[in-house]
């Protein structure tokens, strides 16, 4: 079933978040503990540190059909491992530029700083990214099934 | 082939009230690799855990997925639980369907159920790629090293030693004590500094568990938490342990007029000297740059007179290796060298412009003036004393951005001392703000104010001599007009900065410093006495400007952490650490520079190729140092590094599962 066949009303974006366990994952938990609401379109993968995030994970998510991807870690200066989020910032900035260069809408891949105490910020951010991605519609550019359709399946 | 069991928790109505738990369990049973799927009211309860144990046995499960609350809450509970059934505890993956599902989507039960199914699919995908992990047992050497013997180092040493552990103090100066022994009285109680610090110095020296190296430095540190090997450089003192501290040598030494550092050059010492009478150890040291025996090759007076034969001109630097399990950095502070940056205050040219520490020595009864406040230029008693606060602090242009915290209080103390000791004297204090946060601090300041100290809000723009006086020009920013004070003496409250050489200490031991060069704590709020390096702690003014109460509190805090560490004979090493696939590692060591814990070292391996053997370098991860952040894995171009428990394969399978 290709995305084109789904009706616009039924379409729900898939948003994959990769979150550091010390800050943002804890912030997401706090949003739950505080019974805040945000769209169900967001699913989180837990990593030890945003510095662990390989750009490959993001590309893979976009290829596999994620409509939006975000990485979120501790605020600059607060990294549990002192410098992981700085590495992440540099690497993911390059990736973001690259993705934009190949034509991806900037909103499809985002990077945030959300601490363990910022449950409200997590919920707000999720609402925002959900809205942004809904406005953009499904991700067709990088999705592998679409790319393959155009006949350039790698050998 | 993995045989995965999935266990979905209702958490009463917390999950079950929103998510259709039985439907999730039914869907989960269809996922690849799942051989058993069940649900229960409270998975973490006794019967819930029993259910998992018997299912593992009955269905020969190789991996377990528990879908319930956040792993932060119960991951450890379930790990222990599956271990009871004989499974490796790391063969568990959790799906967070409470905090990140039912609790945030209460009003959308259908969508929440769908999301829960997908979260379980993610967990199952990861579970399919899990591998058993093993904690390494790291032995702990029950000894601690303390670098710096100021009040921070001494307090921590006593606490750690009293708990039954051996402690080694390495102090750079010929005596322990740090800055506190220089001080006269201490705010806010005005008790005598020496009376409370020297007994502590003596207790440390006499403690059976404490070994003190003075006139020594840490040369090299190797190893990791529980297992450090430290090389201590004992500088040649030229006086050996036969010395009884009788004092004949320095009485007889023919040199004179060498400024005594301990009195900041306001008194003189000999070439063989103890910094001050209560020094610990009470053993002199020969200043080889000033000693005639060393400079001119002849003298030998001290050796001749020493009744115990303790003088040893031949003594060289010694290097001693000490093995310890924990390290405490307590190297304290220095004062900023204002004479290099404040031209408007005369660059140190005017003898009657002094720092707060000079003033401390002056009011100290055992100091160079016997406790009298006298102008350095002519030895007269000053009538008008001006204090200038924030010299080098809160001054981004010339000094440091931060507040040095202790100066507001010690300036109030100094003002009180002037008014008390010099009848009819006048005190003018230039300040930007008066910051007296602390128990009984504000009251102390107000008392000084009531005693007659004139607080003038504004910076001093110029100090210059005129006849016998100093003209202090500044502004009163509250009244909005310039002020000029004719002073007899000016005391500058200069900024506290990290002690000289502290960057080398950080580099040698292997931890980070902050933007101002102070030692970086692991977390500014929650881990204030630890560094980011396992087994390395910090206390006192080396972490940031602070007064004695805060220093001592932090020292005892760090000591408690160290005692906790040393109370184990073995600690469990995290199993989720980086590993190197040596076959594809190219030896570029790009990873080495990324690792914040210096956990990656080059290692030589021998490889057998057809007909020959080759030696090549690959990266190797020190399991004691690696904290498992995974930053290195991304830096590795050939992809030789992976993080156990969060491998590329595991994470990619999670991504795939969520995008299905
Ligand atoms: C003028 C003035 C007045 C003050 N008055 C008060 C007061 O009244 N009340 C109050 O509470 N606080 C006061 N303070 C603050 C007080 O001095 C500090 O809080 C306290 O001394 C900090 O102790 P510490 O052990 O951290 O550092 P320090 O006292 O600086 O001790 C550090 C020790 O480490 C040693 N060291 C440094 N580097 C190395 C190295 N590389 N290897 C080995 N050893 C090393 C040093 O030689 C020193 O012995 C005052 C400060 C000043 C400047
Ligand atoms: S592990 Fe990777 S980054 Fe490190 S030396 Fe080997 S190839 Fe280079
Ligand atoms: S995982 Fe982190 S701590 Fe461990 S070796 Fe890699 S960079 Fe260093």
Given this model, what pLDDT does residue B512 score? Answer: 82
Q: How confident is the model at residue A1 (pLDDT cuts 50, 70, 90)?
A: very low
Q: Please give the share of chain A, as a percent, with pLDDT higher than 90.
A: 73
Direct distance between the N- and C-terminal alpha carbons of chain B, in angstroms, rounded to an integer: 22
Q: Range with the lowest mean pLDDT among A135-144, B206-215, B442-451, B544-553?
A: A135-144
Helix (H, G, I), strand (E, B) or coil at B566: helix
Given this model, what pLDDT does residue B533 score? Answer: 84
B110-114: average pLDDT: 97
The answer to whether A50 and B642 have CB atoms below 8 angstroms apart is no
Q: Is B640 in the pocket of ligand 2 (CB under 6 A)?
A: yes
A81 in reach of chain B (CB within 8 A) = yes
- Nearest-atom number in ligand 2 for the CA of B635 is 3
Q: Range with the lowest mean pLDDT among A3-12, B320-329, B414-423?
A: A3-12
User: Is 70 exceeded by the pLDDT of residue B304?
Assistant: yes
Q: Is B499 in the pocket of ligand 1 (CB under 6 A)?
A: yes
Task: Find the largest Cα–Cα distance for chain B.
Answer: 99
B604-608: average pLDDT: 92
Q: Which residues of B touch A56 (CB under 8 A)?
A: 648, 652
Residue in A32, A33, A48 nearest the CB of B628: A48
**C-alpha to C-alpha distance for B33 and B627, rounded to whole angstroms:** 31
Q: Is B221 in the pocket of ligand 3 (CB under 6 A)?
A: no
The CA B44 to ligand 3 mean position distance, Å, reads 33
Residue in B627, B646, B655 nearest the CB of A16: B655
B76 in reach of chain A (CB within 8 A) = no
Helices (H), A10-118: 24-33, 55-64, 84-101
Given this model, what pLDDT does residue B574 score? Answer: 85
Give the residue, B649 or B611, on which the prediction is more confident: B649
ipTM of the complex: 0.91
B654 in reach of chain A (CB within 8 A) = yes
Angstrom distances, CA of residue B562 to CA of B153, B326, B587: 13, 7, 36
Q: Please give the share of chain B, as a percent, with pLDDT higher than 90.
A: 94
Residue in A29, A52, A57 nearest the CB of B655: A57
B627 in reach of chain A (CB within 8 A) = yes
Give the residue, B573 or B637, on which the prediction is more confident: B637
Q: How confident is the model at residue B555 (pLDDT cuts 50, 70, 90)?
A: very high
Give tens-digit pLDDT for B154-173: 999 999 999 999 999 999 99
Q: Is B629 in the pocket of ligand 3 (CB under 6 A)?
A: yes
Pairs of CB atoms within 8 A across A/B:
130
Give tens-digit pLDDT for B376-388: 999 999 999 999 9
The answer to whether B580 and B619 have CB atoms below 8 angstroms apart is yes
Q: Round the average pLDDT of chain B to a whole number and report it.
A: 96
Q: Is B410 in the pocket of ligand 1 (CB under 6 A)?
A: yes
**C-alpha to C-alpha distance for B355 and B338, rounded to whole angstroms:** 9
A38 in reach of chain B (CB within 8 A) = yes
Q: Is B605 in the pocket of ligand 2 (CB under 6 A)?
A: no
Given this model, what pLDDT does residue A8 score? Answer: 58
B633 in reach of chain A (CB within 8 A) = yes
Q: Which of B161, A91, B237 is nearest to B169 (CA)?
A: B161
Given this model, what pLDDT does residue A50 score? Answer: 95
Q: How near does any CA of chain B get to the CA of A19, in Å?
A: 12
User: Whose alpha carbon is nearest atom 8 of ligand 1?
Assistant: B186
Q: Which of B92, B93, B99 is nearest to B116 (CA)?
A: B99
**Phi (first) and psi of residue A118, to 5 degrees:** -105, 60
Q: Which of B548, B562, B607, B571 is nearest to B152 (CA)?
A: B548
Token readout for B34 is 């799942």
Angstrom distances, CA of residue A138 to CA of A15, A53, A125, A132, B260: 11, 24, 19, 11, 77
User: Is 50 exceeded by the pLDDT of residue B456?
Assistant: yes
Report DSSP state, residue B495. Answer: P
A59 in reach of chain B (CB within 8 A) = no
User: Is 60 exceeded by the pLDDT of residue A149?
Assistant: no
Q: Is B621 in the pocket of ligand 3 (CB under 6 A)?
A: yes
User: Is 80 exceeded by the pLDDT of residue A7?
Assistant: no
Token readout for B366 is 């055992």
Q: What share of chain A is helix, strand, coil (3-state, %, to 5)?
A: 45, 15, 40
Angstrom distances, CA of residue B392 to CA of B182, B354, B432, B493: 21, 14, 12, 8
Give tens-digit pLDDT for A14-52: 999 999 999 999 999 999 999 999 999 999 999 999 999
The answer to whether B106 and B18 have CB atoms below 8 angstroms apart is yes
Q: How confident is the model at residue A5 (pLDDT cuts 50, 70, 90)?
A: very low
Q: Is B638 in the pocket of ligand 2 (CB under 6 A)?
A: yes
A114 in reach of chain B (CB within 8 A) = no
Q: How near does any CA of chain A get to the CA of B53, in Å?
A: 26
Give the residue, A149 or B317, on which the prediction is more confident: B317
Is beta strand B4-9 parallel, antiparallel or unpaired with respect to B63-68? parallel
The CA B587 to ligand 2 mean position distance, Å, reads 5
Q: Is B357 in the pocket of ligand 1 (CB under 6 A)?
A: yes
Q: How confident is the model at residue A10 (pLDDT cuts 50, 70, 90)?
A: confident
A80 in reach of chain B (CB within 8 A) = yes
Ligand 1 test: best mutation among B145, B150, B327, most atoms within 8 Å of CB? B150
3-state secondary structure B332-383: CEEECCHHHCCHHHCCCCCCCEEEHHHHHHHHCCCCCCCCCCCCCCCCCCCC
Helix (H, G, I), strand (E, B) or coil at B110: helix
Given this model, what pLDDT does residue A146 score? Answer: 65
Q: Is B619 in the pocket of ligand 3 (CB under 6 A)?
A: no
- Nearest-atom number in ligand 3 for the CA of B622 is 5
B217-246: average pLDDT: 95
Quick check: A87 and B71 CB within 8 A?
A: no
Q: Round the average pLDDT of chain A to a whole number and report it.
A: 88
In sequence order, which residues have a C-beta less than 8 Å from that of residue B526 and are 6 or more positions away? none
Q: Which residues of B touch A32 (CB under 8 A)?
A: 70, 98-101, 103-104
The answer to whether A20 and A115 have CB atoms below 8 angstroms apart is no
In chain A, count of helices (H) and strands (E)? 5, 4
Helix (H, G, I), strand (E, B) or coil at A36: coil
Tell me how long chain A is: 155
- Residue B314 burial (CB count, 10 A): 6
A76 in reach of chain B (CB within 8 A) = no
Q: Which residues of A touch B111 (CB under 8 A)?
A: 12, 40
Quick check: A44 and B630 CB within 8 A?
A: no
Closest residue on chain B to A22 (Cα)? B72
Quick check: B71 and A28 CB within 8 A?
A: no
Q: Is B188 in the pocket of ligand 1 (CB under 6 A)?
A: no
Q: How confident is the model at residue A9 (pLDDT cuts 50, 70, 90)?
A: low
Q: Look up tokens 């009230």; give the residue.
A: B17
B646 in reach of chain A (CB within 8 A) = yes
A27 in reach of chain B (CB within 8 A) = no
- Nearest-atom number in ligand 2 for the CA of B641 is 1
Closest residue on chain B to A32 (Cα)? B99
Q: Which of B300, B290, B231, B298 is nearest to B258 (CA)?
A: B290
Token readout for B291 is 């000693």
User: Whose alpha carbon is nearest atom 35 of ligand 1?
Assistant: B148
B127-143: average pLDDT: 94
User: Is 60 exceeded by the pLDDT of residue A148?
Assistant: no
Ligand 2 test: best mutation among B577, B599, B618, B634, most atoms within 8 Å of CB? B618
Q: How near does any CA of chain A get to the CA of B333, in Å?
A: 23
Report DSSP state, residue B394. Answer: S
Quick check: A43 and B122 CB within 8 A?
A: yes
Q: Which residues of B touch A35 (CB under 8 A)?
A: 103-104, 106
Given this model, what pLDDT does residue A151 score? Answer: 47
Burial B403-428 (b: 16+ CB within 10 A, else e): bbbbbbbbbbbbbbbbbeebeebbbb
């Amino acid at each position: 079933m290709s995305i084109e066949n789904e009706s616009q009303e039924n379409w729900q974006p898939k948003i994959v978040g990769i979150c550091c366990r010390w800050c943002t994952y804890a912030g997401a938990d706090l949003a739950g503990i505080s019974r805040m609401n945000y769209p169900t379109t967001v699913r989180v993968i837990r990593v030890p540190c945003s510095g662990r995030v390989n750009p490959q994970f993001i590309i893979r998510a976009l290829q596999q059909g994620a409509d939006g991807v975000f990485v979120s870690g501790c605020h600059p200066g607060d990294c549990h491992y002192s410098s992981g989020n700085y590495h992440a910032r540099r690497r993911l900035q390059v990736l973001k530029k690259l993705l934009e260069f190949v034509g991806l809408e900037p909103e499809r891949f985002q990077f945030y700083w959300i601490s363990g105490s910022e449950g409200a910020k997590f919920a707000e951010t999720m609402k925002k990214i959900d809205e942004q991605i809904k406005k953009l519609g499904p991700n067709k550019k990088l999705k592998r099934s679409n790319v393959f359709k155009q006949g350039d399946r790698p050998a | 082939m993995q045989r995965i069991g999935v266990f979905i928790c209702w958490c009463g109505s917390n999950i079950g009230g929103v998510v259709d738990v039985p439907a999730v369990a039914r869907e989960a049973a269809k996922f690849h690799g799942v051989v058993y799927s069940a649900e229960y009211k409270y998975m973490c309860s006794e019967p819930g855990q029993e259910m998992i144990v018997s299912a593992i046995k009955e269905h020969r499960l190789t991996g377990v997925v528990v879908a319930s609350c956040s792993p932060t809450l119960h991951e450890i509970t379930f790990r222990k639980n599956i271990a009871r059934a004989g499974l490796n505890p790391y063969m568990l993956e959790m799906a967070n369907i409470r905090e990140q599902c039912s609790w945030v989507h209460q009003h959308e039960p259908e969508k929440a159920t769908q999301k829960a199914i997908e979260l379980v699919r993610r967990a199952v995908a990861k579970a399919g790629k899990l591998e058993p992990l093993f904690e390494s047992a790291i032995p702990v050497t029950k000894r601690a090293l303390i670098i710096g013997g100021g009040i921070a180092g001494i307090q921590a040493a006593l606490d750690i030693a009293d708990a039954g552990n051996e402690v080694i103090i390495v102090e750079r100066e010929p005596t322990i004590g740090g800055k506190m022994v220089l001080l006269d009285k201490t705010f806010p109680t005005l008790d005598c500094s020496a009376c409370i610090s020297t007994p502590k110095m003596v207790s440390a020296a006499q403690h059976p568990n404490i070994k003190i190296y003075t006139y020594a430095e840490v040369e090299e540190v190797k190893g990791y938490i529980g297992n450090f090997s430290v090389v201590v450089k004992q500088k040649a003192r030229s006086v050996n342990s036969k010395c009884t501290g009788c004092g004949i040598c320095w009485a007889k030494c023919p040199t004179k007029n060498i400024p005594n550092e301990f009195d900041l050059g306001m008194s003189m010492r000999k070439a063989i000297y103890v910094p001050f009478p209560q020094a610990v150890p009470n053993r002199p040291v020969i200043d080889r740059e000033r000693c005639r025996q060393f400079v001119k090759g002849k003298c030998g007076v001290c050796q001749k007179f020493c009744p115990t034969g303790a003088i040893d001109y031949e003594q060289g630097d010694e290097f001693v290796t000490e093995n310890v399990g924990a390290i405490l950095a307590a190297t304290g502070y220095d004062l900023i060298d204002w004479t290099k940056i404040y031209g408007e205050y005369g660059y140190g040219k005017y003898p009657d412009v002094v720092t707060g520490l000079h003033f401390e020595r002056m009011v100290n009864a055992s100091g160079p003036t016997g406790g009298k406040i006298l102008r350095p230029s002519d030895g007269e008693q000053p009538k008008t004393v001006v204090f200038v606060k924030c010299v080098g602090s809160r001054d981004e242009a010339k000094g440091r951005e931060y507040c040095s915290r202790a100066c507001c209080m010690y300036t109030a103390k100094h003002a009180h001392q002037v008014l008390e000791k010099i009848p009819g004297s006048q005190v003018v204090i230039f300040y930007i703000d008066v910051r007296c946060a602390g128990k009984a601090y504000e009251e102390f300041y107000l008392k000084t104010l009531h005693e007659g100290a004139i607080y003038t809000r504004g910076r001093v723009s110029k100090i210059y001599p005129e006849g016998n006086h100093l003209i202090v020009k500044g502004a009163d920013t509250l009244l909005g007009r310039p002020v000029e004070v004719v002073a007899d003496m000016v005391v500058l409250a200069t900024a506290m900065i990290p002690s000289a050489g502290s960057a080398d200490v950080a580099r040698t031991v292997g931890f980070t410093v902050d933007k101002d060069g102070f030692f970086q704590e692991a977390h500014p709020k929650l881990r204030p006495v630890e560094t980011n390096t396992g087994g390395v702690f910090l206390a006192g003014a080396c972490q940031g400007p602070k007064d004695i109460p805060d220093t001592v509190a932090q020292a005892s805090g760090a000591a408690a952490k160290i005692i906790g560490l040393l109370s184990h004979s073995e600690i469990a090493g995290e199993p989720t650490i980086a590993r190197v696939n040596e076959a594809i590692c190219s030896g570029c060591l790009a990873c080495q520079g990324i690792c914040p814990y210096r956990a990656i070292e080059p290692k030589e391996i021998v490889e057998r190729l057809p007909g020959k053997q080759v030696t090549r370098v690959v990266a190797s991860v020190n399991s004691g140092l690696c904290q498992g952040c995974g930053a290195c894995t991304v830096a590795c171009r050939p992809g030789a590094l992976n993080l156990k428990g969060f491998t590329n394969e595991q994470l990619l399978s999670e991504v795939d599962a969520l995008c299905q």
